Structure 1
Amino acid sequence: MASLDSIQALLKGQRGLPPIERWHPELSGDIDIVIKADGRWIHEGGEIKRHELVKLFASILRKEEDGDYYLVTPVEKWRVQVEDLPLLIVDFELADKETATDAPKIIVKTNVDSWFELGVNHPLVVATAPATGEPSPSVLTFHGLAARVSRACFYRLVELAEPVGESLVLRAGGEAFVLGASR
């Protein structure tokens, strides 16, 4: 477990995001970028392999009310395609409890090195995939974006959950998140 101070340092140490919520240019068109379900960014058929470039693009990505995803600058707005969700949760840290009755603080990490504390502002939502009946967990991040929780991270979160009635419930950040039915 990480200390609360180290978790707070992770959150505070993040570079600020561009103020894309204040940018409202006209649509410039569609750009040949596809964000694959496995987190890879594809431009004109080739994978963008420079992690820093993917992080930069992710910092100016937003989902709008029409359900589409856009890369936005102060003067341009380009629509991109997203197969599932644009981000992935690839890891998490669990802060030490301050008292025995406290719910843990769980800080999740995306594939673009952003950190979010699970709670009211960044809830964990577990839907059921219609085709498979499997859990389909995600975390709301920023700018209308959500991140798919990797299978390995989800299994680790399930280990932290407790049975409550017929459900498995994860308590974090003052919230209770239903992960699925207990068995």
Structure 2
Amino acid sequence: MTRQYSSPSELVESLTSLPKGNELPPIHLWDPPFCGDIDIRILSDGSWLYMGTAIDRVSMVRLFSTVLKRDEDGSFYLVTPVEKVRIQVDDAPFVAISVERREDKLYFLTNVGDQCVLGEHHGLWVLEEPVSGEPKPYIRVRDNLDALINRNTFYQLIDMAEEKQINGKCHLVISSSEHFYSLGSIEDSRSE
């Protein structure tokens, strides 16, 4: 069953009673019935599409991002107090587009305006792209939602990193909020 809206604006109308400003709605308190799939897709670069067409209104994307939820089954949903519709997400729903060090903390900003501080509740990890072997770094933004860290931001983290020995291997490590995160092991080019 696919839920058909004539436009994303129709879905926005159902969200008009949500909190304004930077306050996130209490979606963790809502348990609406599943109403089907909607043809909204978040691409790996953070772009949002409706029926294959880009959603260009930044305010609309921001609004949708505030009611985005990832359930235990790994599926992503837009949730209102009265309905829940499934959407498709190619990778992570958000992209971390900048990082800034302030004292001993690293502050990240996402493409939808979320901010988080790398630390206990906002961890960082790096996976490897299966085909290319390139690193794919992520940060937990909120609840069960993550951001892929874009290349420029990852390079900034590499510039901030220090070399540390972990389990006999040299790693590039960053610190924030008294926690340490490996950006990956580095090979000693002198041994090649």
When normalised by structure 2's length, the TM-score is 0.82
Q: Aligned partner of 2:183: which letter?
A: L
Aligned to 2:112, what secondary structure does the other structure show? coil
1:158 alignment counterpart: 158
| 2: CA distance, partners of 1:160 / 1:171 | 9
1:125 and 2:125 correspond? yes
Q: Is the 8 A contact 2:96 2:153 kept in 1?
A: yes
| Counterpart pick for 1:92 among 99, 105, 116 | 99
SS of 1:28's equivalent?
A: strand
Give, in whole Å, the separation in 2 of the partners of 1:89 and 1:80.
21
Name the residue aligned to 1:38.
45
Question: How much does 1:182 deviate?
Answer: 2.6
Distance 1:49 1:143 in 2: 26
Structure ranking higher on relative contact order (CA contacts 8 Å, 6+ apart): 1
**Separation in 2 of the partners of 1:54 and 1:43?**
11
Structure 1 unmatched ranges of 5 or more: 1-13, 98-103
Distance in 2 (alpha carbons) for counterparts of 1:84 and 1:15? 25
Matches of 1:16 and 1:94, distance apart in 2: 24
Q: Distance in 2 between matches of 1:169 and 1:142?
A: 23
| In 1, Cα distance between equivalents of 2:23 and 2:111 | 17
Query: Partners of 1:171 and 1:142 in 2: how far apart?
Result: 20
Report what 2:60 is aligned to.
Answer: 53
Alignment equivalent of 1:79, drawn from 83, 86, 93 = 86
Counterpart in 2 of 1:178?
182
Q: What is the CA deviation profile of residues 36-56 of structure 1, one whole-angstrom value per residue up to 9, with x for unaligned ones? A: 111110001211000010000
**For the aligned residues, what is the CA RMSD?**
1.0
- CA–CA distance in structure 1, aligned partners of residues 161 and 101 of structure 2: 13
- Measured in 1, the distance between the counterparts of 2:61 and 2:54 equals 10
Unaligned runs of 5+ in 2: 1-20, 188-192
**Correspondence for 1:6:** none
The alpha-carbon deviation at position 143 of structure 1 amounts to 2.7
Give the equivalent residue in structure 2 for 1:168.
Answer: 172
Percent of paired sites with the same residue: 40
Deviation at 1:180, TM superposition (A): 0.7
Q: TM-score, normalised by structure 1?
A: 0.86
Which range moves more in the overlay, 69-78 or 134-143? Answer: 134-143
Amino acid at match of 1:39: G
